[in-house]
């Protein structure tokens, strides 16, 4: 499992910096960085905090973190593309009510 890859993908879709995700998730920004670099594996609690902060179901996060050797499917690239598309849909819908977007709306007025 490449949890760092999943976090990077989801942060990019959600347009969040590491420190912003860390703040929302209630973890240290250095932990997010180390996970993304593959230097640390997140605990179950940390995964729960990150997926909750990103508003992504844990099973989708795990699917995004999966590597070809983790998947028992013929076409893992197609599955990865489908998972990323689903993540985009979920995060687009969730972002309509995230604190980050609320802040942007307030700043624009």
25-76 pLDDT, tens digit each:
999 999 999 999 999 999 999 999 999 999 888 888 888 888 877 767 657 6
Q: Say what the pLDDT of residue 99 is.
A: 53
User: For residue 19, how many other CB atoms are within 10 A of its CB?
Assistant: 13
Q: Say what the pLDDT of residue 93 is.
A: 67
Q: Could you give the percent of the chain with pLDDT greater than 70?
A: 79
Number of structural domains (the chain) is 1
Q: Say what the pLDDT of residue 100 is.
A: 52
CATH number of the domain where residue 56 is located: 1.10.260.40
- Cα angle value 90/52/98 (rounded, 5°): 60
| pLDDT grade for 4, boundaries at 50, 70 and 90 | very high
Q: Which of 79, 81, 73, 84 is closest to 8 using CA atoms?
A: 84
Residue pair 5/64 in contact (Cβ under 8 Å)? The answer is yes
Domain assignment of residue 42, given as a range: 3-108
Q: Is 33 exposed, middle or buried (0-12, 13-18, 19+ CB in 10 A)?
A: middle
Residue pair 1/65 in contact (Cβ under 8 Å)? The answer is yes
Q: Say what the pLDDT of residue 97 is.
A: 55
CA distance 109 to 107: 6
Q: Say what the pLDDT of residue 73 is.
A: 60
């Amino acid at each position: 499992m490449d949890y760092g890859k999943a976090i990077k993908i989801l942060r990019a879709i959600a347009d969040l910096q590491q420190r912003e995700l860390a703040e929302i998730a209630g973890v240290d920004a250095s932990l997010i960085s180390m996970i993304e670099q593959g230097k640390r594996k997140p605990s179950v609690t940390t995964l729960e905090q990150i997926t909750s902060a990103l508003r992504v179901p844990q099973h989708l996060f795990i699917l995004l973190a999966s590597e070809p050797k983790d998947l028992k499917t013929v076409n893992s690239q197609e599955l990865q593309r489908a998972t990323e598309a689903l993540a985009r849909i979920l995060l687009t819908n969730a972002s309509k009510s995230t604190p980050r977007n609320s802040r942007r709306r307030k700043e624009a007025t």
